[in-house]
Amino acid sequence: MKKCKDFGLRFPWLYAIFGLILLLAAVILPALVFRSPEAPWDGVREIISAVIVFAVFGLFVGYDRLKFTSAGMKEGFRFMRVLFIVMAALIGTGALYSIISGQTEHITWQKGLGLILMLSVGIVEEFTCRGMIFGGLLKKYGKTAGGIIVSALISSVLFGAVHILTALIQNKITDLNTILQAIGKIVSSGAFGLVMAFIYLKVRNVWVPAAVHSVYDGILLVSTLFMAQGAGQTEYVTKQGGISNVLIYVVMTLVMLPFIIKAVKQIKKMELPVPCPLEDEWYADMK
């Protein structure tokens, strides 16, 4: 483990690139093993990915640093509490309507289980995008506030791009309609990634953005359980989506803007230079 850590500290760009490769592998390889798109197999794939990512990330930062702790959880969720309350209220209202009107025949235990297992995607994406990619870039550029913001931006754009990977592989991005959806998804997910990067930077505990991410995904996935003909749908680019999908992505991006502005202001006030997750100083400041 020490050799892996020393490698990351010596070659932070390669460490960040390795994090990206790990993320891509965690997305693609399990899908080759479990080809069924039906729940709960989507969730099983995510569990496998989470185990792989946890094992590899631990080799670099040390498994003692990856022991679950609630340090910073309250602060992380406090930062997003208004958004979560609004989302939960809106989706809860829709779910209640579906139950009262009897439109629940499409809900099965398999879909419910698949939804629960899908929450592990927060571990996969936060350990790789924030822990490794953002962490590696921080080692290189964490000496200035601008460098921190650029590091968060790069890792977040990559995070957003991963969400349209399946559509690219399946050659679904072929016209203006699907191109706009793809761009919208990259930007909206990237905006969320920026907020997660800030939370990780602030509390220094990777389990916090992973937990916040999982709750955010969970709320969105519940909406697909009650308001669509299937749970856990993760097709972000569709021929039928059109302007509705684009508008959803625009709204999701705008919702994140106040959090991003707040985060940038706080980054500019941080004591510099900022350490990276490979360094002991990072954990000394854990909230």
Structure tokens at 130: 């924030």
Range of the domain at 246: 2-284
The predicted pLDDT at position 49 comes to: 84
pLDDT tens per residue across all 287 residues of the chain:
789 999 999 999 999 999 999 999 887 776 555 555 554 556 677 788 888 899 999 999 999 999 999 999 999 999 888 888 887 777 767 666 666 666 555 555 555 665 666 668 889 999 999 999 999 999 999 999 999 999 999 999 999 999 998 888 888 898 999 999 999 999 999 999 999 999 999 999 999 999 999 888 877 777 666 654 444 456 788 887 678 889 989 999 999 999 999 999 999 999 899 999 999 999 987 76
Domains identified in the chain, total number: 1
> pTM here?
0.89
Measured in degrees and rounded to the nearest 5, phi and psi for residue 6 equal -60, -40
Neighbours of 199 (CB within 10 A): 26
Distance, in Å, from the CA atom of 134 to the CA atom of 276, rounded to the nearest integer, reads: 9
The predicted pLDDT at position 231 comes to: 43
Q: Omega before 273 cis (within 30°)? A: yes
The predicted pLDDT at position 232 comes to: 44
DSSP category for residue 63: G
The predicted pLDDT at position 38 comes to: 52
Structure tokens at 235: 């097709």
Q: Omega before 40 cis (within 30°)? A: yes
